[in-house]
């Protein structure tokens, strides 16, 4: 199946995606030659030991070299630090392209270098030091992102497997990675993991083996992979050819990029994102109007003008909104029509006010009852009911269906739609569309 860039870009624009970047993106140019940082380090270590790299197996990893050269952990760490110090001016092009996608606020790095930080500083801060850098340590105080990390405008890199320093407290070998991931089971940055649970994860070029990929995703999600309501996209040089891993991930709602490796994915992502930004205009609907994704807007007749404002705000986003404005004279026909539209709607939005709950008898109450029953038939990971308090009416107000009180309400001061409300509905509709496309 062809990769659907549109849905991924939608979620990136909503800042709902966290890139988790790996060593396959560290493609550096040295003397006109493009080479992965891992290979460059091996070459430099060979030169230091007067070894001819031509006699080494092609694409030998740093881990394999360390084993063959019989380097202990401290010696290897010292050599790695020395090589990284000689690469101060290098910024890999794939990282630069990711940094240019300004809808990405937080990057999680699985490598020990600071190249992603450098790419962000050059791209977004003119070479300054505006990027927040946090490092996980296996034996020191755990650094964590602030609890308000969802706020846009930040640029942060979290080194989940440590960062190169004088203290060899970072992952170099596969064994090191395993130890860090095991440690994260019980000793983790709480705010970071809370955020990862709520986001879509974009794993790019992490070079993890089949079992480690599964283990890493499970660790990040903090729940059974089959139970989560978000998904991952995996773009890796070898993952697409690993039938076992691909089958496992796709059976559990994740996506594997099959049209190339990690660098190819970043190049295409940057191309698609740039094209969308160039074409965007304030008046352009974010979602095409589609009656298959109708929203039923339920309101009290006393609040009709305010309800029209909600309808207009949603329609400006290209959403199809149904509300009973004209009224249906025949009671039986009204009930049939309302019930049909309640069942057809993807979302039921109830506008709650004191006007609505003060009455002893309203047709509106039947709309609520129909929606409450319909919600019992819907998938739990695709919320159907959306309740808005327009004047401070509380969920425990007598007369409301218990199904309304059981969900989180949105508040719209002055009874007018807020950007947060509109954005939440847009995101909910996109979730339904992605589910229909097999993304959830």
pLDDT, average across residues 409-420: 86
How does pLDDT run across 72-110, given as a tens digit for each residue?
777 777 878 877 887 777 889 999 999 999 999 999 999
Give the span between the Cα atoms of 277 and 268, in whole angstroms.
14
Structure tokens at 56: 């080494």
CB 374 within 8 A of CB 384: yes
Place of tokens 């849905």: 7
Last residue of one domain, picked from the residues 279, 306, 330:
279
Q: Which long-range contacts (CB under 8 A, 24 or more apart) does 4-11 make?
A: 4/437, 4/439, 5/268, 5/269, 5/272, 7/430, 7/433, 7/434, 7/437, 7/439, 8/202, 8/233, 8/269, 9/272, 9/273, 9/276, 10/286, 10/430, 11/200, 11/430
pLDDT in tens, 363-372: 888 999 999 9
Q: Which CATH number is 263's domain given?
A: 3.40.50
Residue where a domain stops, chosen among 258, 279, 300: 279
Q: Is the pLDDT of residue 11 over 50?
A: yes
Query: How much is the pLDDT for 369?
Result: 93
What does the pLDDT average to over 107-116? 92
What is the H or E stretch that residue 81 is in? Answer: helix 73-85
pLDDT tens readout for residues 213-247 = 766 777 766 566 555 555 678 888 776 677 766 66
Q: Which of 252, 279, 306 is the last residue of a domain?
A: 279
Give me the pLDDT at residue 343, please: 93
Q: Which domain holds residue 134?
A: 5-26+92-279
pLDDT reading at 287 higher than 60: no
pLDDT band at 133 (very low <50, low <70, confident <90, very high): very high
CATH at residue 418: 3.40.50.10140
Nearest to 297 by CA among 332, 342, 259: 342
Task: Please check whether residues 306 and 241 belong to one and the same domain.
Answer: no
Query: Per-residue pLDDT for 284 more than 50?
Result: no
CB 330 within 8 A of CB 338: no
Confidence of residue 6 (pLDDT cuts 50, 70, 90): confident
What is d(CA 217, CA 85) in angstroms, rounded to the nearest whole number? 32
Average pLDDT over residues 304-332: 81
Share the mean pLDDT of the chain. 82
The total domain count for the chain is: 2
Look at residue 283 and tell me whether its pLDDT is greater than 50: no
Residue 168 has what DSSP assignment? -
Question: What does DSSP say about strands 200-204 and 17-21: parallel, antiparallel, or unpaired?
Answer: parallel
Neighbours of 408 (CB within 10 A): 8
Percent of the chain at pLDDT exceeding 70: 85
Tell me the two tokens of residue 117: 């930080």
Same domain, 171 and 103: yes
């Amino acid at each position: 199946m062809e990769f659907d860039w549109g849905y991924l870009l939608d979620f990136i624009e909503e800042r709902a995606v966290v890139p988790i970047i790996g060593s396959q993106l560290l493609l550096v140019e040295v003397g006109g030659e493009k080479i992965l940082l891992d290979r460059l380090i091996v070459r430099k270590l060979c030169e230091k030991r007067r070894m001819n790299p031509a006699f080494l197996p092609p694409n030998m990893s740093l881990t394999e070299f360390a084993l063959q050269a019989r380097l202990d952990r401290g010696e290897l760490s010292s050599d790695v630090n020395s090589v990284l110090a000689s690469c101060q001016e290098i910024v890999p092009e794939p990282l630069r392209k990711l940094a240019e996608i300004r809808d990405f606020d937080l990057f999680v790095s699985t490598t020990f270098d600071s190249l992603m930080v450098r790419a962000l500083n050059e791209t977004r801060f003119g070479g300054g030091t505006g990027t927040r850098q946090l490092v996980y340590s296996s034996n020191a105080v755990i650094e964590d992102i602030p609890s308000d990390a969802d706020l846009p405008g930040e640029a942060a890199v979290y080194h989940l497997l440590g960062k190169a320093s004088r203290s060899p407290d970072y992952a170099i070998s596969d064994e090191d990675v395993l130890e860090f991931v095991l440690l994260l089971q019980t000793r983790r940055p709480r705010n970071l993991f809370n955020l990862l649970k709520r986001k879509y994860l974009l794993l790019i070029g992490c070079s993890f083996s089949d079992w480690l990929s599964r283990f890493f995703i499970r660790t990040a999600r903090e729940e059974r992979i089959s139970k989560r309501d978000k998904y991952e996209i995996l773009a890796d040089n070898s993952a697409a050819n690993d039938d076992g891993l691909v089958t496992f991930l796709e059976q559990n709602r994740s996506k594997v990029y099959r049209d190339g490796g990690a660098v190819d994915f970043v190049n295409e992502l940057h191309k698609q994102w740039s094209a969308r930004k160039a074409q965007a205009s304030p008046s352009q609907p974010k979602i095409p109007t589609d009656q298959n994704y109708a929203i039923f807007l339920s309101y009290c007749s006393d609040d009709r003008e305010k309800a029209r404002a909600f309808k207009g705000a949603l329609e400006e986003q290209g959403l199809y909104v149904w509300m009973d404005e004209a009224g249906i004279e025949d009671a039986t026909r009204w009930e049939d029509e309302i019930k049909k539209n309640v069942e057809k709607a993807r979302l039921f939005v109830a506008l709650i006010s004191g006007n609505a709950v003060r009455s002893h008898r309203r047709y509106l109450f039947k709309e609520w009852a129909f929606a409450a029953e319909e919600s019992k038939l819907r998938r739990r990971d695709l919320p159907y009911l959306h309740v808005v308090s327009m004047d401070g009416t509380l969920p425990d107000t007598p007369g409301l269906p218990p199904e309304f009180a059981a969900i989180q309400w949105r508040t719209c001061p002055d009874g007018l739609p807020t950007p947060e409300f509109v954005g939440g509905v847009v995101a909910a509709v996109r979730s339904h569309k992605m589910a229909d496309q097999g993304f959830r």
